[in-house]
Amino acid sequence: MPPSSFDDLPGPSDYLPIALRKGKKAIGCKWVFFIKVNLDGIVARLKARLVAKGYA
């Protein structure tokens, strides 16, 4: 079940660093934010998504 608000997301202190397996690389990630507005220009919805940085 996704968090109901931004405050419910885990913070940096909720994670522990671990060693990567031999031959593996860590991938980066970033937050992408969207502001959805209706036809009147009023903010209708705020959306956020955590995405992995991929290279094609």
Q: How many CB atoms lie within 10 A of CB 28?
A: 8
- Is residue 25 scored above 80 in pLDDT? yes
Q: DSSP code of 6?
A: G
Determine the Cα–Cα distance for residues 4 and 2; give it in Å rounded to an integer.
Answer: 6
- 26 pLDDT band (50/70/90 cuts)? confident
Determine the Cα–Cα distance for residues 38 and 9; give it in Å rounded to an integer.
Answer: 27
pTM of the entire predicted model: 0.49
pLDDT of residue 56: 60
- 31 pLDDT band (50/70/90 cuts)? confident
Quote the tokens at residue 12: 């940096």
Q: Compute CA distances 48 → 13, 17, 31, 32, 42, whole Å.
A: 21, 25, 7, 6, 18
